[in-house]
Amino acid sequence: MRLLFLVTFVCAVGAAQEAPRTMKRLSVWLQSPDVPKDSFAAQPKRMFRAGNKYCRTEEAPDTENGIHGLLIANEPDVWMVNRLDETAKHIVDPGPTFNCRMPILGSHIRSQEDFEKPLLQLEFGRELAFFKAVGAEQSEGPLLTGDPTIAHSARVDDVDLILLTTAELIPRAVVAISNGARRGLLVHRVLRGSFRS
């Protein structure tokens, strides 16, 4: 009986550490009346996500601040790389959980406790799951680059959120509206879909 328990435990641990079978790859950029179109903030970022453990973000060069950012997470290890000056920093996540996070409204993060706030559960690569979890209502959305969309609408922490998806439920844009003022439109473009192993 003891051997059966040990074998079952080892198999369960091994299954928990199995590499994800898919990777999401997206290109994301911010469009907002408050953000100049030629600014660094409006430049596209390429993002990759595979499960909770593997994340990567590639930014455009920010020559004004001397940064060309690359972030690679293989939890608990995280590397922040500046490709302009060829420097890097390695960080080890202290835990207790080892989940890479990619919050869409990440500018609101001031401490580790902030990750528990409902708005910060809205993450790149997990948009649809978030909107389903908060009970979003669906309606016909506007045309986006000439294509019809489905609008998923929800109010979270006094912020109106709208996710626009294709008919196949592929996320295309997220709009956050606070106090009646449009904060911005984060445009997604899924690059050649998700990869499967």
Task: Give per-residue pLDDT as tens, 153-177.
Answer: 999 988 889 999 988 888 888 887 7
Consecutive H or E run containing 13: helix 2-16
Q: Give the model's pLDDT for residue 159.
A: 85
Tell me the three state secondary structure of residue 78.
strand
Mean pLDDT of the chain: 81
What is the pLDDT at residue 108?
A: 64
Domains of the chain: 19-196 (2.50.20)
Higher pLDDT: 3 or 194? It is: 194
Q: What's the pLDDT tens digit per position in 80-109? A: 999 999 999 999 988 888 888 888 877 667
pLDDT at 13 over 80: no
Calculate the alpha carbon distances from 20 to 34, 48, 68, 194, 195 in Å: 38, 12, 28, 12, 10
pLDDT attached to residue 5: 30
* Contact assessment for residue 80 and residue 91, using Cβ atoms and an 8 Å cutoff: yes
Specify the pLDDT at position 135: 96
pLDDT at position 17 is: 56
Region of 179 (left: φ > 0; alpha: ψ -120 to 50; beta: rest) is left
Q: Which residue has the tokens 């590639």?
A: 58
pTM of the model: 0.76
Partners of 74 in beta bridges: 54, 77
Tell me the DSSP string of 173-195: EEEEEETTEEEEEEEEEESSS-E
Q: Flag whether pLDDT at 14 surpasses 70.
A: no
CB 52 within 8 A of CB 75: yes
